[in-house]
Structure 1
Amino acid sequence: MRVSKALIVLERGAPGHGWRSLDVRNRHLVAIANRPLIVHAIEGLERAGIEQVGIVADEVTLAATQQALATHPGRVRTTYIPRKHGAGTVACLLAARGFVDGEPVLVHTGDGVLGPRLGKLLDGFEEEPLDALVLLEPPDGRARRGVRAALDRGEFSGLCVVGPIAVRAAEHAARGRGEASWTDFLVALEHLRASVEARPMDGWCRCRCDDGEASLLRATRVALDLLPAAPPSAGVSWPDVEVQGRALIDPTASLTSTTVRGPVVIGARSRISNAFLGPYTSIGEDVVIEGTEIENSIVHDGARVSHVPNRLEGSVLGRCAKVSVDFELPRGLRLTLGEGAEVVFS
């Protein structure tokens, strides 16, 4: 059977669960290349041929997600499914019985950016006699035998294709458990003598809070690599500005005496002057950058960077963060840092 449905299961993070530089509880709503992460996830599903997407979560998370997606409409048909009882992936599958309706479904955790290869894996699932295909993200790119062992090693990518047996396995996994996990679900598939296989997933980057800001930077690189080869901004030109490669620049942004080397994205009303923006850099809305070089970094909305003497690289600046040089004497470092903040000098 053709896989035309995807189910995105969302878990609301606990207070303090997130990235140190960002005040984000729901990781699927963190901005990647100036758009919520879940928008990139849905676009990846569209590219793979998915036609219907069900999003299941508790009512609070669902409302925040629906609000975020309202400003980024896609082509797929989206259904919002409240999870009123239980927690975890299995509870989400059970809440989505009506949406799944006995058809094969791609289960997605909604917290990663998909490259172009997913469509081929879905085609392979349709052609083979499999009940479930678990997609892995092994550190060395090689999948090993043993699906449960792979989950225990933290290699699960957050993507799983399940056939019509999905709801039956979820019901089996939920028996006698308050919160059934992915491992419980896969054990249930084994008890039902289902055919389960694990394969590595290339071109996928999952944003993990326990991986720190490095996962945000990786996801941004994947997202920016998918930028189309289009003019930087139709009908808009900037004095003394050189744009090299792919760059998505909002027409309301202001650039002067700057070099932009893509892939780069620059948000609305940002002001860039006497700067160099290197590859894989994402600049949010209302950002001010003066006399600074930035590469492979994320600068969120409202941040300001002024006359930093060294190139900023591999950095993540949260909303309204400020990094500047004070030329007054006596010279010294003056830092205002919140709990869990990190500063690295090199």
Structure 2
Amino acid sequence: MKGLILSGGKGTRLRPLTHTSAKQLIPVANKPILFYGLEAMREAEITRVGIIVADTKEEIISHVGDGSAWGLEVTYIDQSEPLGLAHAVLTAEDYLKDDDLFVMYLGDNIIKEGFKSLVDEFLQNRPNAQILLAHVHDPERFGVAELSNGRVVRLIEKPQVPPSGLALVGVYMFDHNIFTAAKSIKPSARGELEITDAIQFLIDEGYVVDPHVINGWWKDTGKLEDLLEANRILLDDLETRIDGSVDERSRIIGKVIVEKEATVVNSTIRGPAIIGEGSIIENAYVGPFTSVYYNSLISHSEIEHSMVLENVKLCNIPVRIEDSLLGKNVEIIKSDAKPKAYRFMLGDNSMVGLV
């Protein structure tokens, strides 16, 4: 059984971060999102994994390499354009066709408990497809399933009027019949080959599609609020570990990780929080549910419930920063220079709130 991870999307909802970086590599609780999928594959004893890549291919390769860090054998599969999940399946057909079964995982999703038990269930029952479903409050954002007597009868992609609150989770299990299904459908109004249409083809043709409603925590990290929630949930599982330097004037409260070569000086860190390798926190406050990635500086400033990526400088900010995502190499610095003014250099689709 092989795995297929999709990492070729453009991440338009997370711009401007994703103008220059892969959304699957945004660090949640200081770990790139994609790594959670790789760990889940290994936990499920799936060691041969294909990764669909596109414009951000080189960045994905630089972080994942050959997969040996996870005990995996990784193969990269180029997708010419992001033309839908079913198109991704067809793109990977040559890689997958020698194995009758495979798991497809969307690289910007996180399933906290992984999916080993669900793979075991799939291997035991051997349906033609198994889909994972979760109850959500905004099903119109997702593919939605309608069930009758525990069976899947209809799937709709991002419906304006959802027939249920059951959304498709970003993990799918298929046998070889999915290739026939993907070749039998036409592009949707969005111009994409929808995986929901391919699965609906299987249902209509009498193939067995098993639903599994998960009760654990799952998140599609496609929007800022989703990233912050994922960060909050995963940070809450931390156990305190101080590998860096914390001086006697600083306070560590709650579950906090200070990575090696990180420095905390005359500051308060209130967990759950994580301070990444090489970062410096001085004369500052880092509040709950905040992750600071590597080589960043927070000085004479306060921040909480936020994500700080690598090489960020946050200095002399007079008000607390909350509910924010600061992309890599961002600098927010208060200057005493005259005349006083706000000075910005912002990418497309940036958002700034001022007080």
- Pairwise TM-score range, normalised by the shorter structure: 0.7 to 0.9
> Judging changes above 3 Å, is the alpha-carbon distance between structure 1 residues 10 and 231 closer, same or farther for their aligned structure 2 residues?
closer
Determine the C-alpha separation between the residues in 2 that align with 1:141 and 1:121.
24
Q: Aligned residue for 1:203?
A: 217
- Aligned 8 A contact 2:235 2:289 in 1: yes
- Aligned 8 A contact 2:15 2:350 in 1: no
Q: Aligned residue for 2:302?
A: 293
User: Residue 11 in 1 paired to residue 8 in 2?
Assistant: yes
The one-letter code matched in structure 2 to 1:134 is I
Q: Which has the higher strand share?
A: 2
Query: SS state of the match for residue 268, structure 2?
Result: strand
The one-letter code matched in structure 2 to 1:334 is Y
* TM-score, normalised relative to structure 1: 0.81
Report deviation, 1:254.
1.7
Q: Aligned residue for 1:270?
A: 279
Report deviation, 1:144.
4.5
Determine the C-alpha separation between the residues in 1 that align with 2:220 and 2:179.
25
The one-letter code matched in structure 2 to 1:195 is V
Query: SS state of the match for residue 87, structure 2?
Result: helix
* TM-score, normalised relative to structure 2: 0.79
2:241 alignment partner, one of 207, 231, 241:
231
2:344 alignment partner, one of 328, 332, 336:
336
Report deviation, 1:283.
0.8
Determine the C-alpha separation between the residues in 2 that align with 1:118 and 1:172.
29
Q: Aligned residue for 1:162?
A: 174
Report deviation, 1:314.
0.8
Determine the C-alpha separation between the residues in 2 that align with 1:88 and 1:298.
29
Q: Aligned residue for 1:106?
A: 103
1:216 alignment partner, one of 200, 204, 227:
227
> Judging changes above 3 Å, is the alpha-carbon distance between structure 1 residues 120 and 71 closer, same or farther for their aligned structure 2 residues?
closer
Query: SS state of the match for residue 155, structure 1?
Result: strand
Query: SS state of the match for residue 183, structure 1?
Result: helix
Q: Bigger CA drift: 45-54 or 78-87?
A: 78-87
- Aligned 8 A contact 2:110 2:218 in 1: yes
- Aligned 8 A contact 2:128 2:208 in 1: yes
> Judging changes above 3 Å, is the alpha-carbon distance between structure 1 residues 93 and 21 closer, same or farther for their aligned structure 2 residues?
closer
Count of matched residue pairs: 335
Report deviation, 1:167.
2.9
Determine the C-alpha separation between the residues in 2 that align with 1:182 and 1:12.
15
- Aligned 8 A contact 1:10 1:109 in 2: yes
Any stretches of 5+ residues in structure 2 without a counterpart? 140-144, 148-152
Report deviation, 1:132.
1.5
Report deviation, 1:148.
1.1
Q: RMSD value over aligned CA atoms?
A: 3.4
Q: Aligned residue for 2:78?
A: 82
Report deviation, 1:126.
3.2
Query: SS state of the match for residue 211, structure 2?
Result: strand
> Judging changes above 3 Å, is the alpha-carbon distance between structure 1 residues 244 and 85 closer, same or farther for their aligned structure 2 residues?
closer
- Aligned 8 A contact 1:5 1:51 in 2: yes
Any stretches of 5+ residues in structure 1 without a counterpart? none
User: Residue 149 in 1 paired to residue 156 in 2?
Assistant: yes
The one-letter code matched in structure 1 to 2:64 is L
Determine the C-alpha separation between the residues in 2 that align with 1:38 and 1:63.
14
Report deviation, 1:137.
4.2
- Aligned 8 A contact 2:275 2:291 in 1: yes
Report deviation, 1:81.
2.7
Q: Bigger CA drift: 71-80 or 307-316?
A: 71-80
The one-letter code matched in structure 1 to 2:77 is I
Question: Identity over aligned residues, as a percent?
Answer: 23
Report deviation, 1:46.
2.7
Q: Aligned residue for 1:120?
A: 117
